[in-house]
């Protein structure tokens, strides 16, 4: 089944209802599992994909993050919640934290026992 809604809120309500129904196992019709996916415009997908490499790198650094619709990256770093609307801003942030981590690790004395 394919459906198109005009309002983003309606789409979210349908997807949330499907998620709740999946918990009870009622997403089947005649023994076939029904699956629900959001469909975004090509422009929105392109904006979201711009963050994909950055998400992987920040996740590898152990930094909690998630993507907010349509394309805003939210990062929690040292107790602060930061948002980035461009991949370039997120890249600058990653460079900044990796450079500061490298500098601080060089300052630490290297002990061997």
Q: Is the pTM of this model over 0.85?
A: no
CA distance 98 to 106: 12
> What value does the mean pLDDT of the chain take?
82
CATH hierarchy code of domain 40-113: 3.30.250.20
What mean pLDDT do residues 3-7 have? 82
CA distance 15 to 113: 56
What are 49-97's pLDDT values in tens digits?
A: 999 988 998 899 889 998 988 889 999 998 999 999 999 999 999 898 8
What mean pLDDT do residues 4-24 have? 86
Q: Are strands 28-29 and 65-68 parallel, antiparallel or unpaired?
A: unpaired
CA distance 83 to 62: 17
Query: What six digits make up the tokens of 64?
Result: 């909690």
Contact (Cβ atoms closer than 8 angstroms) between residue 51 and residue 73: yes
Strands (E), 8-55: 28-29, 32-33
pLDDT at 101 exceeding the cut of 90:
no
pLDDT above 90: percentage of residues in the chain: 23
**Domain ranges (residues) in the chain:** 1-39, 40-113
């Amino acid at each position: 089944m394919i459906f198109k809604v005009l309002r983003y809120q309606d789409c979210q309500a349908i997807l949330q209802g499907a998620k709740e129904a999946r918990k009870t196992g009622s997403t089947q019709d005649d023994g076939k599992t029904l699956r629900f996916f959001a469909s975004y415009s090509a422009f929105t997908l392109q904006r979201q994909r711009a963050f994909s490499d950055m998400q992987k790198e920040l996740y590898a650094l152990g930094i909690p993050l998630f993507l907010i619709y349509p394309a805003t990256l939210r990062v929690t770093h040292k107790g602060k919640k930061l948002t980035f609307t461009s991949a370039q801003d997120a890249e600058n942030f990653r460079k900044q934290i990796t450079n500061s981590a490298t500098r601080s690790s060089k300052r630490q004395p290297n002990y061997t026992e």
